[in-house]
C-alpha cells in the first residue's frame, strides 16, 4: 500500500528536517565522530535514494520506517566493502568494536539516546563554546550555515570557518560517542542547554526559513530538554527553567499565526488557542526550577513567559519589565533590549518608550524599526510607515515581510481617510 495524498516533493523536505540529524546521530555511534562524514554521507544517500525511488514507485506506507531501513542496509553494505573498511575505518576503531557495531539498532529509544549522546559528545572542550554550539546545531539540529549565522548574529563565512575548524578538531581528537563521567556531563551541560535554547528559538521565530514558526524544531527542543530532566545528573534548576520557558512559549504557537500564515501580535491572539496543558507543565517545571537560590537567564525568561500566559493582572507588565531589567544585566542582547522597551511602553506609554528605543540606535535591526513603527502608529503615521518600510528592507523572512507590508497598507489607508 502506498501513500498518495502527498507528493514526494512536499514530504521529503519535511522528513529531511525531522530525520536527517537523528539518523546521523545513530550512525555516528557506529563510525565515531572522527568519521562523522561517513555517517552524513549514508544519511544523505538515503534521502537521495528516497527521492529517486518515491518518484517512480510512490511514497511508502510508512516513509520514516522506509528511510531507516534503507539507512540500516546502507550501513551493512558499507561494512561489507572490505577495501573501504581497510583504508578508512579499521585503524580508527578496535577490532572488538566492529562486530558489535555491524548491526544498526534504529528503535525510537536508541534514536533518542543517540541524539542526546551526540549533543554531549559534540559539546567537547576541544572546541570553543561557540564552535561546540555551532557544530551541535548543524549536526544534531539540521541547521544550515545561514541559520547558525542568524542565531549568532554573525556572517556566514565566519560560521563556515568555525565549523571547519571544529570538525577538524573532532577528527584529530579521535573520540567516540560513549558514556561520559559525571564531571564531563556537568561541565558540558551549560553548552548543551544553550544549544537547545537556540534550537527552540529558531522554531519559535525563524529568521531565515520561509515559515516564521517551525513547530518541529520547538517539539524537538522540548523533547530533548525533557530527557535531561529525567537524568539526575542533568535535572538541574537551569534545565527545569529552560523547559518551563519552552512550555510557556510553546503553549502559544497555534495562536501566533492566522490561517494565511501571517503573524498575529500578542495582544490580538485568540487565547482559546493557547495550550493549557503546556502552560500547566510550564508551571510545574518553573516550580522545580526554584528549589534553590540559583537565578539564571532561563529563570528570568521563564518568568517573563509565565506572565505572558498568566491570567489578567493590573501589574502584569510591571512584573515583566522588572524581569527584563534583571535579564538585561545578566545577558545583554539587542532582542532583549527591544523586548524590554515593548514592556516599558506597556507600563509608561508609547511616547516615553520611543525615547528609550531610539537610545538603542539599532538602525540595522528589523525589530528595532518594527518596534518604532508600532510605537509611532498612534501619534505619527508617516514616521510609523517609514520605520515599517525600513523593517521590510532588513528582514529575510518572507512571512514577516508580508505581515509588515500588510501593516503599512493599513496605515496608509488610515491616512487617506
pLDDT in tens, 25-59: 777 766 665 667 788 888 888 988 998 999 898 99
Collect contacts of 72-75 with beta carbons under 8 A, ≥24 apart. 72/103, 72/104, 72/106, 74/42, 74/45, 74/46, 75/27, 75/30, 75/42, 75/104
For all residues of the chain together, what is the average pLDDT? 83
Q: What is the pLDDT of residues 240-265, one digit of tens each?
A: 999 999 999 999 988 888 887 777 87
Asked if 220 and 21 count as a contact pair (C-beta separation under 8 A), the reply is no
Q: What is the pLDDT of residues 74-128, one digit of tens each?
A: 888 877 764 555 555 555 544 434 334 445 555 555 555 667 777 787 787 878 8
Residue 228: Cβ-neighbour burial (10 angstroms; 0-12, 13-18, 19+): buried
Q: What is the mean pLDDT of residues 315-326?
A: 96
Q: Which CATH class is domain 330-417?
A: mainly alpha
Dihedral sign computed on CA atoms, order 169, 174, 180, 181: negative
The DSSP output letter for 291 is S
Q: What is the mean pLDDT of residues 175-190?
A: 76
Checking if the pLDDT of 184 tops 70, the result is yes
Per-domain residue ranges for the chain?
1-106, 330-417
* Listed ranges 67-71, 216-220, 291-295, 362-366; the one with the highest mean pLDDT: 362-366
Checking if the pLDDT of 208 tops 50, the result is yes
Amino acid at each position: 500500500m502506498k501513500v498518495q495524498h502527498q507528493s514526494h516533493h512536499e514530504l521529503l523536505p519535511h522528513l529531511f528536517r525531522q530525520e536527517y540529524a537523528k539518523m546521523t546521530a545513530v550512525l555516528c555511534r557506529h563510525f565515531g565522530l572522527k568519521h562523522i562524514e561517513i555517517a552524513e554521507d549514508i544519511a544523505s544517500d538515503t534521502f537521495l535514494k528516497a527521492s529517486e525511488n518515491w518518484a517512480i514507485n510512490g511514497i511508502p506506507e510508512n516513509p520514516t520506517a522506509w528511510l531507516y531501513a534503507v539507512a540500516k542496509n546502507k550501513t551493512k553494505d558499507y561494512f561489507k566493502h572490505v577495501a573501504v573498511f581497510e583504508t578508512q575505518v579499521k585503524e580508527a576503531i578496535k577490532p572488538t568494536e566492529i562486530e558489535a557495531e555491524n548491526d544498526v539498532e534504529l528503535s525510537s529509544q536508541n534514536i533518542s539516546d543517540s541524539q542526546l549522546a551526540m549533543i554531549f559528545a559534540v559539546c567537547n572542550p576541544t572546541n570553543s563554546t561557540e564552535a561546540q554550539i555551532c557544530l551541535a546545531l548543524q549536526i544534531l539540529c539540521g541547521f544550515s550555515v545561514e541559520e547558525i549565522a542568524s542565531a549568532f548574529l554573525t556572517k556566514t563565512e565566519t560560521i563556515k570557518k568555525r565549523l571547519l575548524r571544529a570538525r577538524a578538531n573532532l577528527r584529530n581528537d579521535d573520540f567516540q560517542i560513549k558514556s561520559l563521567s559525571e564531571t564531563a556531563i556537568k561541565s558540558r551541560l551549560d553548552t548543551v542547554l544553550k544549544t537547545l535554547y537556540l534550537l527552540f528559538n529558531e522554531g519559535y521565530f525563524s529568521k531565515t526559513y520561509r515559515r516564521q514558526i517551525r513547530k518541529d524544531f520547538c517539539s524537538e527542543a522540548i523533547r530533548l530538554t525533557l530527557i535531561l530532566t529525567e537524568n539526575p545528573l542533568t535535572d538541574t534548576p537551569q534545565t527545569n527553567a529552560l523547559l518551563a520557558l519552552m512550555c510557556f512559549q510553546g503553549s502559544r504557537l497555534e495562536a501566533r499565526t492566522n490561517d494565511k500564515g501571517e503573524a498575529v501580535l500578542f495582544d490580538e491572539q485568540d487565547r482559546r488557542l493557547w495550550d493549557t496543558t503546556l502552560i500547566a507543565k510550564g508551571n510545574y517545571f518553573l516550580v522545580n526550577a526554584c528549589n534553590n537560590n540559583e537565578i539564571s537567564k532561563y529563570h528570568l525568561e521563564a518568568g517573563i513567559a509565565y506572565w505572558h500566559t498568566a491570567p489578567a493582572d493590573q501589574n502584569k507588565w510591571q512584573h515583566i519589565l522588572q524581569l527584563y531589567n534583571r535579564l538585561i544585566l545578566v545577558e545583554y542582547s539587542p532582542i532583549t533590549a527591544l523586548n524590554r522597551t515593548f514592556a516599558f511602553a506597556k507600563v509608561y506609554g508609547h511616547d516615553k518608550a520611543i525615547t528609550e528605543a531610539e537610545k538603542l540606535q539599532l538602525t540595522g535591526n528589523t525589530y528595532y524599526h518594527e518596534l518604532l513603527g508600532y510605537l509611532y502608529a498612534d501619534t505619527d503615521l508617516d514616521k510609523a510607515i517609514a520605520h515599517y518600510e525600513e523593517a521590510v528592507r532588513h528582514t529575510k523572512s518572507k512571512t514577516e515581510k508580508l505581515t509588515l507590508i500588510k501593516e503599512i497598507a493599513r496605515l496608509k489607508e488610515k491616512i487617506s481617510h
